Copies of this chain bind each other. A is one copy, B any other.
Amino acid sequence: MTRTDHPVRLTAVAAPDQPAVSPDLDRLYRGFERELLVPLWTEIGDLMPAHPRSGATPHRWEWDHLVRLAAQAGELVPVGRGGERRAIALANPGLGGRPFATPTLWAAIQYLMPGEDAPEHRHTQHAFRFVVEGSGVWTVVGGDAVPMNRGDFLPQAGWNWHAHHNATDRPMAWIDGLDIPFQYATEAQFFEFGRDEIGDAERITPERSRSERLWGHPGLRPVGVGELTPGSPLLAYKWEHTDRALADQLAVEREGFGGTVEPGHAAVRYTDPATGRDVLPTIRAEMHRVARGAETAPVRETGSSVYQVFDGSGTVTVGDHTWSVSRGDLFVVPSWLPFSARSEAGTTDSDSGSLDLFRFSDAPVFEALQLDRTRKDAR
């Protein structure tokens, strides 16, 4: 192996009190290269910073651009075994062109044409769907048909068989969130193909899935259900519940009793009803409502988030970036950059004028390993 194609390439660096790189020092660095070694002292600033300095960049994707491209893909790119899904992922400009919204999170727009199916498979990557507009697609999970409608959140814990089918005569788009980059970085992934065709019995389109009928009643656990696998057994969190919970929270606050995150800022976390913990072992998902005219205090957290505007419009600030956002827009908050949001009563058709933000993050990873930190900055 010649030096040029050797995996380790080093530049000798003199210490502060050394006048220059001596021949001996250079020989030492060549020895490091030869033996596949790298010194800490030239790398420590990058590897061990005073606080997280993300490789990811704050960035916003506009929903109508995404939908337009997804619709073109609907015309040009078939869905089938091998490619598996017509999903198009956000590629953070700081992450080298990889389809990674953040170092740990995948976010994609998925698009299904009228009558189309996406074939069954399963994987260890934890996933969810979130529907910002449209309806008519069913996700079939372990044979249970789960309808997808605007505002619904559908977790898809790892290693469950799942497929999609569009039962209508119109295309539908939604977003997928997964921990693909995290499992890619840690090399944890398994994947299996399932049946190529969904059975006729699963092409039914019930209003509520079996999972909702068994697990979707507040505080009530079905006694007869046995041992559970990791992740929520509830496969759909319908918008009517989320919306009501947020409205209730703001109402309790108006009556003087708190309950919100901060004044004018309601939020609910999607949780596993069997444990009360995060809905997926590696992904946290929440819906935030910033009331008309309210503003959230800047917060830094270890780990990264992806947001999608569900309704309303407003202004969001991530580190040094500030954007006006409206329905469907997506943006990322890299590790330890301060984030805040402000609601603006605008052209939205929401009569309340609030800004509803769907958020997902890698917080459960940090909490499970006791690496989580949070800091509220002064405004």
Question: What is A's interface to B at a CB cutoff of 8 Å?
Answer: 7-9, 15-17, 22, 24-25, 28, 31-32, 35-41, 43-44, 47-56, 59, 61, 65-66, 69, 72-73, 75-78, 80, 82-99, 103-104, 108, 123-125, 158, 180, 182-192, 210, 213-225, 230, 232, 234, 237, 241-242, 244-245, 248-249, 251-252, 255, 257-262, 265-277, 279, 281-282, 286, 288, 302-304, 334-336, 362, 364-366, 368-371, 373
The 6 closest A-B pairs by CB, nearest first: A41-B83, A38-B99, A213-B248, A187-B335, A224-B261, A223-B267
* Chain B residue at minimum C-beta to C-beta distance from A258: B224
Contact of A269 among B86, B90, B223 (CB under 8 A): B223
| Contact indicator A219/B219 (Cβ below 8 Å) | no
Given A77-B39, A84-B41, A249-B214, also A125-B48 (CB < 8 A): yes
Q: Known contacts A28-B69, A91-B7, A99-B38; is A217 also within 8 Å of B188 by CB?
A: no
Q: A190-B51, A222-B245 are in contact. Are A38 and B97 (CB under 8 A)?
A: yes
Cross-chain pairs A/B with CB under 8 angstroms, 18 sampled: A7-B93, A7-B94, A25-B77, A28-B77, A36-B91, A37-B89, A37-B90, A37-B99, A43-B89, A48-B180, A56-B187, A183-B371, A210-B252, A219-B273, A220-B271, A223-B269, A281-B371, A364-B369
* Docked CA distance A63–B259 (Å): 40
- Chain B residue with Cβ nearest A100: B38
Residue of B nearest to A304 (CB): B187
Minimum CB distance partner of A101 in chain B:
B36
Q: Are A220 and B268 in contact (CB under 8 A)?
A: yes
Establish whether residues B230 and A370, one from each chain, have CB atoms under 8 Å apart when the complex forms: yes
New contact pairs (5) apart from A52-B190, A221-B269, CB-CB < 8 Å = A16-B82, A36-B90, A48-B125, A210-B255, A223-B269
Residues of B within 8 A of A43 (CB): 89, 99
- Determine the chain B residues whose CB is within 8 A of the CB of A93 once the complex forms: 7-8, 36
Q: Main SS of chain A's interface residues?
A: loop
- In angstroms, Cα B15 to Cα A191, docked, is 21
Please give the distance in Å from A107's CB to the nearest CB on chain B: 10
Which residue from B31, B49, B249, B260 sits with its C-beta under 8 Å from A72? B31
**Chain B positions within 8 Å of A25 at CB level:** 76-77
A97-B9 contact, Cβ under 8 Å, with A35-B65, A213-B248, A224-B262: yes
A87 touching B217 by the CB < 8 A rule? Answer: no
Residue of B nearest to A253 (CB): B224
Docked pose: A245 CA to B208 CA in angstroms: 13
Q: Which of B76, B223, B334 contacts A22 (CB 8 A)?
A: B76
- Chain B residues, Cβ within 8 Å of A222: 245, 249, 259-260, 266-269
Contact among B36, B125, B217, B281 with A268 in the assembled complex (CB-CB below 8 Å): B217
Kindly list chain B residues whose C-beta atoms are within 8 Å of the C-beta of A234. 218-219
Determine if A365 and B371 form an interchain contact, defined as CB atoms under 8 angstroms apart: no
A261 touches B218 (CB 8 A): no
Whether A192 touches B261, Cβ cut-off 8 Å, given contacts A41-B83, A186-B182, A369-B281, is no
